[in-house]
Amino acid sequence: MASHYLFEYIHPFYDGNGRVGRFIIAKLLSDYYDNYTALTFSYVINRNKSKYYKAFMIASNHLNCGDLTEFIDTMLELLIAGQERILDELIPKMDATEKLTLYLTSHYKQIDYEFLYLLSMDKLFGNKRNRLTLIDLENILGVGRVKINNTIKKYDNYLVKIKSRPTIYEISDEFLNSIIK
């Protein structure tokens, strides 16, 4: 965190451009911790810009005599807030994954389990702009379109078609909630 301050102090961002410094700190966090830590730190800084900039102003004050304690403390608070945020999102999804796995393995044959599991994981963890298509499902499951179409017909009441070209289905909220509750 001290290196982040020093970089920004040497290369000030008076014009509001601190992207290079934030990129460097994100890269360091990614290398020493993980990508989620780096991403959540960037997200939290973006949501707490005034606190972030205030930490720089306090550290840069000539009366502060170069003491970076408060700056580092603020940056670590932001880092922890980001990590807590990701945990708050991931823990319920991990619990849901465990319940889904137990339920699906005990109620469905292998190919049906894999199909429903993939669509469930896509719904829980996927990005709404980048979902699994039928072609993706064919490739992942190693089956043809006929098998995929038959599986879709078999579980039509559990699925919602969300796009036609390319064709994308997702697990219905009702089905998902009935298992994870």
Cα–Cα distance for residue pair 21/98, rounded to 1 Å = 39
Active site residue 62: no
Q: Single out the residue of 112, 115, 154, 150 nearest to residue 136, CA to CA.
A: 115
Known binding residues are 15-22, 52-53, 64
Cα–Cα distance for residue pair 22/9, rounded to 1 Å = 13
Known binding residues for ATP are 15-22, 52-53, 64
Q: How many CA atoms lie within 13 A of 144 on its CB side?
A: 1
> Is residue 132 within 8 Å of 119, Cβ to Cβ?
yes
Which candidate in 4, 11, 62, 107 is catalytic?
11
Catalytic residues: 11
